[in-house]
A and B are shown apart, each in its own frame.
Chain A
Amino acid sequence: MNPELRKLVRKAAPDGADIDALLRDLDFPLVDGTDVTFVFRGKADAVYLRCWVAGLDTAQPFQALANTDLWATTIELPKGSRIEYKFEVVTNGNKELILDPLNDIVARDPFGANSVCQAAGYERPEWTLHDPQARDGSLQSRKIESSVFRESREIEVYLPATFRKNRRYPLLVVHDGVDYLRYAELKIVLDNLTHRLEMHPVIVALIQSPDRLKEYSGDNRHARFLVEDLLPFMSDAFPLMDSADSRCIMGASFGGVASLHAAWRYPEHFGSLLLQSGSFAFSDIGRHQRGPVFDPVVRFMNEFREHPGRPADRIFMSCGMYESLIYENRSLVPHLQSKGVDLRFEEARDAHNWENWRDRLRVGLSWILPGPAWMVYE
Chain B
Amino acid sequence: MNAEKPIRLLLGPQRPVVNLDSALARSGIGDGPIGVISAAWQEAEGDIDGMQRLVKNPLSDLLLYQKAEALFAADTRLHEAYRRRQEHLKEQQRLYRLRLRQLKIAARATLRAEGEPAVLAAERRHAISQLRALDKHHLRQVDKIHARFDNDFNVDCNTALAEHTSAFAEALSRFDSLLITGGNVVVLINRLRLFGLGPQLQRKNIVAWSAGAMVLADRIVLFHERMPQGRRDAEIMCRGMAIVPDTVLLPNASGRLRLRDSLRIGLFDRRFSPATCVALDNGSYLLFEGETLRDSGAAKRMTRNGKFKRVRAA
The yes or no answer to B214 lying at the interface (CB within 8 A) is yes
Are B184 and A375 within 8 A (Cβ)? Answer: yes
Contacts of B227 in A (CB 8 A): 198, 366, 373-374
Closest to B41 in A: A378
A residues in contact with B40, CB < 8 Å:
376
A residues within 8 Å of B by Cβ?
A: 164, 167, 193, 198, 362-363, 366-367, 372-378
B283 at the interface (CB under 8 A from A): no
In the bound complex, what is the Cα–Cα distance between A367 and B183 (angstroms)? 22
Check B183–A377 contact: CB distance below 8 A: yes
A367 touches B229 (CB 8 A): yes
A378: contacting residue among B183, B187, B222, CB under 8 A = B183
Partner of A366, one of B186, B228, B232: B228
Q: Is the CB of B210 within 8 A of A373?
A: no
Most chain B CB within a 10 A radius of its CB, from A362, A373, A378: A378
Point out which of B187, B222, B227, B232 has the most chain A C-beta atoms below 10 A from its C-beta.
B227
Q: How large is the interface on B (under 10, 10 to 19, 20 to 34, 35 or more residues)?
A: 20 to 34
| Interface core residue of A164, A198, A373, A376 (most chain B CB under 10 Å) | A376
- Residues in B with CB closer than 8 Å to A374 are 222, 224, 227, 232
| Contact in complex: A167, B43 (CB < 8 Å) | yes
Bound Cα distance A363, B228 (Å): 5
Point out the residues of chain A lying under 8 angstroms from B229, CB to CB.
Answer: 363, 366-367
11 A–B contacts from the bound complex (CB under 8 Å): A366-B229, A373-B227, A374-B224, A375-B222, A376-B183, A376-B184, A377-B185, A377-B252, A378-B182, A378-B210, A378-B211
The docked-state distance in angstroms from the alpha carbon of A164 to that of B186 is 21
Report Cα–Cα, A59/B182, bound state, in Å.
Answer: 57
A377-B214 CB under 8 A given contacts A362-B228, A363-B229 = yes
- Chain B residues with CB under 8 Å of A376's CB are 40, 183-185, 211
Which residues of the other chain, B, contact A372 by a CB distance below 8 angstroms?
184
Which residue of chain A has the shortest Cβ distance to B235 in the bound complex? Answer: A374
**A164-B43 CB under 8 A given contacts A363-B229, A375-B184:** yes
Instruction: Mark out the residues of chain B between 210 and 244 whose CB falls within 8 Å of any chain A CB in the assembled complex.
Output: 210-211, 214, 222, 224, 227-229, 232
Q: Is the interface of B mostly helix, strand, loop or mixed?
A: mixed
Residues from chain B with a CB closer than 8 A to the CB of A377 are: 13, 182-183, 185, 210-211, 214, 251-252
- By a CB distance below 8 angstroms, the chain B residues around A366 are 227-229
B15 close to chain A: CB less than 8 A: yes
Residues from chain A with a CB closer than 8 A to the CB of B232 are 374
A366 to B224, CA, bound (A): 14
Q: Which residues does B use to contact A, with CB under 8 Å?
A: 13-15, 40, 43, 182-187, 210-211, 214, 222, 224, 227-229, 232, 251-252
Number of A-B residue pairs with CB-CB distance less than 8 Å in the complex they form = 47
Bound CA span A373–B186, Å: 11
- Contacts A198-B228, A366-B228 given; indicate if A375 touches B186 (C-beta within 8 A): yes
For A378, list chain B residues within 8 Å (CB): 13-15, 182-183, 210-211, 252
Q: Are A375 and B228 in contact (CB under 8 A)?
A: no
Q: Which residues of A contact B187 (CB under 8 A)?
A: 375
User: In chain B, what residue has the closest Cβ to A365?
Assistant: B228
CB distance from A165 to the nearest CB of B (A): 11
Chain A nearest CB: distance from B284 CB in Å? 13
B-side contacts of A167, CB under 8 Å: 43
The 4 A-B residue pairs whose C-beta atoms are closest, nearest first, are A366-B228, A377-B210, A377-B211, A377-B251
- Distance in angstroms between the alpha carbons of A375 and B227 in the assembled complex: 12
In Å, the complex CA distance between A336 and B255 comes to 36
Q: Chain A contacts of B252 at CB under 8 A?
A: 377-378
Q: CA separation between A377 and B214, bound complex, in Å?
A: 9
- Shortest beta-carbon distance, B54 to chain A, in Å? 16
Please indicate which of the listed interface residues B187, B211, B229 has the most CB atoms of chain A within 10 Å of its own CB: B229
Please report the C-alpha to C-alpha distance between residue A363 and residue B183 in the assembled complex, in whole angstroms. Answer: 23
Cα A366 to Cα B226 with chains together (Å): 12
CA separation between A363 and B229, bound complex, in Å?
Answer: 6
Distance in Å: Cβ of A123 to nearest Cβ of chain B: 16
Q: Which residues of A contact B224 (CB under 8 A)?
A: 373-374
Tell me how far the C-beta of B159 lies from the nearest C-beta in chain A, rounded to whole angstroms.
27
Q: Which residue of B lies closest to A166 (CB)?
A: B43
Inter-chain CA distance A374–B187, complex, in Å, is: 12
Contacts of A363 in B (CB 8 A): 228-229
Residues of B within 8 A of A375 (CB): 184-187, 222
Determine the residue in chain B with the shortest Cβ distance to A364: B228
Report how far A111 CA is from B40 CA in the complex, Å: 48
Distance in Å: Cβ of A119 to nearest Cβ of chain B? 23
A167 to chain B, nearest CB (A): 7
Q: How far, in angstroms, from A306 to B184 measured CA to CA in the complex? A: 46
**CB-nearest residue of chain B relative to A199?**
B228
Shortest beta-carbon distance, B236 to chain A, in Å? 13
Bound: A367/B228 CA distance, A: 8
B232: nearest chain-A partner, CB-CB? A374
* B252 nearest in chain A by CB position: A377
Q: How far is the CB of B299 from chain A (nearest CB, A)?
A: 15
- Contacts of B211 on A, CB cut-off 8 Å? 376-378
In Å, the complex CA distance between A198 and B229 comes to: 10
Most buried by B among A363, A367, A375: A375
Distance, CA A30 to CA B224, complexed state (A):
38
- Please, how many angstroms separate the alpha-carbon atoms of A167 and B43 in the complex? 9
Query: Nearest-CB distance from A314 to chain B (Å)?
Result: 13
A-side contacts of B13, CB under 8 Å:
377-378
A214 to B126, CA, bound (A): 63
Q: Closest approach, in angstroms, between the C-beta of B148 and any C-beta of chain A?
A: 23
Q: Which residue of B lies closest to A197 (CB)?
A: B184
Chain A residue numbers with a CB within 8 Å of B185 are 375-377
Closest to A344 in B: B229
Docked pose: A199 CA to B229 CA in angstroms = 11
